[in-house]
């Protein structure tokens, strides 16, 4: 498997940001880490190994980026408004820096599918819902789509516009809605075992259904917990049955 590490000083975040790239061809799979993890997390926990057959077959090219959750919602040392601003700066980094980088390594027409587990699922889904002009779908695993779960009671416009269960019900822009309705790869997955919260996936899916946005919700069994073996099964399952 071809593996490359790239980095640059991000103007959006004012820090060095790394990205790992796996493969040569195929659609682009943009991977958001969990919690406070980094761009090599999916490699360390063998999720890259689990999707290696799809990478080696040229079905997809994976791009795994750093998170800055430990500088935003997981940072208790700065006031909540600054945590929210940092989240918005991360969105800017993804849209204005990561997407052009992916285009430079693929093509302008290559579809970009986002994915992530746990906190990464929120970023993956939120990125699609906010910018369906840039992204073509999402595979969100074991996520919470209400940002208020992470804000400890703080709420402002930056929170609202990054909390899909808050802004999606009020989304009335027909251009954006029609763009989302044209997507064929929105997958919301959750286990029902230890530390999973399938009701959060169902909450999001009810909103998508009300807005006429096609999606697939896939709840796995009560023996499926919130941990890496689950995601090492979920992601290749979706790739193998839906792509």
- Write the pLDDT tens digit of every residue in 177-217: 999 999 999 999 999 999 999 999 999 999 999 999 999 99
Q: What is the DSSP letter of 33?
A: P
Write down the pLDDT at residue 40. Answer: 97
Write down the pLDDT at residue 14. Answer: 98
Q: Phi and psi for 141 in degrees, rounded to 5?
A: -120, 125
Burial group, residue 13, by CB count within 10 angstroms (0-12, 13-18, 19+): middle
| Cα separation, 5 vs 94, whole angstroms | 17
SS3 content of the chain, % helix, strand, coil (to 5): 45, 20, 35
* Fold category of 3-242 in CATH: Rossmann fold (3.40.50)
For residue 203 the two structure tokens come to 């909450």
Give every strand in the sheet of 60-65, ordered side by side: 3-10, 15-22, 60-65, 27-32, 112-117, 137-141, 185-190, 216-219
Write down the pLDDT at residue 36. Answer: 85
159 pLDDT higher than 90? yes
Q: What is the DSSP letter of 196?
A: -
- Write the pLDDT tens digit of every residue in 78-117: 999 999 999 999 999 999 999 999 999 999 999 999 999 9
- Write the pLDDT tens digit of every residue in 108-156: 999 999 999 999 999 999 999 999 999 999 999 999 999 999 998 999 9
Per DSSP bridges, beta strands 27-32 and 15-22 are unpaired
Write down the pLDDT at residue 25. Answer: 95
Q: How much is the mean pLDDT over the chain?
A: 97
What is the residue extent of each domain of the chain? Answer: 3-242
């Amino acid at each position: 498997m071809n593996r490359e590490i790239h980095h640059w000083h991000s103007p959006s975040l004012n820090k060095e940001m790394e990205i790992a790239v796996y493969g040569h061809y195929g659609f682009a799979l943009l991977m958001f880490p969990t919690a406070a993890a980094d761009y090599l997390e999916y490699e360390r926990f063998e999720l890259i190994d689990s999707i290696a057959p799809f990478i080696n077959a040229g079905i997809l090219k994976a791009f795994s980026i750093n998170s800055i959750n430990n500088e935003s919602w997981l940072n208790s040392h700065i006031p909540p408004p600054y945590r929210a601003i940092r989240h918005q700066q991360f969105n800017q980094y993804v849209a204005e820096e990561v997407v052009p980088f992916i285009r430079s390594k693929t093509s302008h027409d290559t579809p970009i599918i986002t994915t992530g587990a746990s906190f990464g699922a929120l970023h993956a889904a939120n990125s699609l819902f906010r910018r369906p002009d840039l992204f073509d779908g999402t595979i969100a695993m074991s996520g919470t789509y209400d940002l208020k779960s992470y804000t400890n009671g703080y709420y402002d416009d930056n929170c609202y516009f990054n909390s899909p269960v808050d802004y999606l019900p009020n989304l009335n822009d027909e251009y954006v809605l029609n763009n989302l309705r044209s997507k064929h790869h929105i997958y919301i997955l959750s286990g029902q075992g230890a530390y999973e919260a399938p009701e959060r996936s169902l909450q999001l899916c009810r909103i998508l259904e009300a807005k006429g946005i096609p999606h697939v919700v896939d709840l796995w069994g009560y023996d499926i917990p919130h941990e890496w073996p689950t995601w090492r099964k979920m992601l290749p399952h979706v790739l193998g049955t839906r792509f």
